[in-house]
Amino acid sequence: MIVMPAPEPWEKIEEVDKNVLFCYAVKEEVGRAPSRFYNVSTLVTGMGRKNAAEGITRALDAKNYRLVLTCGFAGGLNPELTTGTVVFDEDENADLGEKLVRFGAVPAKFYCAKRVAVTATEKQELWRSTGADVVEMESSVIRAICKERGIPSATVRVVLDTAQEDLPLDFNILMTSRQKINYPKLIWILLSRPHKILPLWKFQRQSMIAAQNLDKVLGNFFQCR
């Protein structure tokens, strides 16, 4: 778990909410938005439900927050969602939806999976069986713990890979028991399958663009609060 305190604000915004926690699974999802506002903290939990539960529990034990957002990437299940689309779901008392829609976010149903959905076939089956629009791996446990403590929460994520798209690698086989990427194994796979390097590089570029879209929505949202 990595907890990064927000730096001094680059501009003073009187209306900004105090004691807001942004939760991400991995540092690649984190943009500049949280750092622009005073007293907004960022938590990087690690991937998966176990890491998310441990991370949010420690964070909430250490400080009282009035709002928690679980942010980052999601895989598309609804074929109509394109890469870069920001999607959200909120508690009734979070009072975020109207403004998020104003800045381009779309209400969606989330499914919290235990493993990465790698192929278009897997995503199609999840869409059929769950009725969810997107899939990710941390939000449900974070929001359940927040609900137990009476803290409003919302999921605000960006579609990284569409429903029709296969991922360049099966990231499940790269995970350690702690749901972290096994980098020596990744290097070995790329050396043994060099044709995977270009698709993986393109996917990394895609993830950067998606993260920027999410950051733009969150930044605009908190500026208007």
Check residue 172 and give its pLDDT. 85
Check residue 38 and give its pLDDT. 63
Check residue 19 and give its pLDDT. 86
Q: What's the number of CA atoms in the CB half-sphere (13 Å) around residue 178?
A: 8
Q: Distance between CA 216 and CA 112 in Å, rounded?
A: 24
Residues 67 and 17: beta-carbon distance below 8 Å: yes
In sequence order, which residues have a C-beta less than 8 Å from that of residue 56 and are 6 or more positions away? 23, 43, 45, 68, 141, 142, 145, 146
Check residue 156 and give its pLDDT. 97
Check residue 15 and give its pLDDT. 40
Q: What is the dihedral of CA 201, 109, 26, 180, to 10 degrees?
A: -90
Check residue 177 and give its pLDDT. 75
pTM: 0.85
List phi, psi (to 5°) of 110: -105, 145
Given the structure tokens 């950051």, which residue do they identify?
A: 215
List the one residue out of 7, 3, 17 whose CA is nearest residue 60: 3
Residues 107 and 18: beta-carbon distance below 8 Å: no
Q: Distance between CA 147 and CA 124 in Å, rounded?
A: 30
Check residue 6 and give its pLDDT. 39
Check residue 103 and give its pLDDT. 92
Q: What is the dihedral of CA 145, 124, 204, 210, to 10 degrees?
A: -60
Per-residue pLDDT of the chain (225 residues; tens, 9 = 90+): 434 343 333 233 334 445 899 999 999 899 877 777 666 889 999 999 999 999 999 999 999 999 999 999 999 999 999 999 999 999 988 889 999 999 999 999 999 999 999 999 999 999 999 999 999 999 999 999 999 999 999 999 999 999 999 999 888 887 787 778 777 888 888 888 899 889 889 999 999 999 999 999 988 877 755
List Cβ<8 Å contacts ≥24 apart for 202-208.
202/168, 203/161, 203/167, 203/168, 206/83, 206/160, 206/161, 207/28, 207/73, 207/160
Check residue 224 and give its pLDDT. 56
CATH architecture of 2-224: 3-Layer(aba) Sandwich (3.40)
Check residue 184 and give its pLDDT. 84
Tokens standing for 49? 């439900």
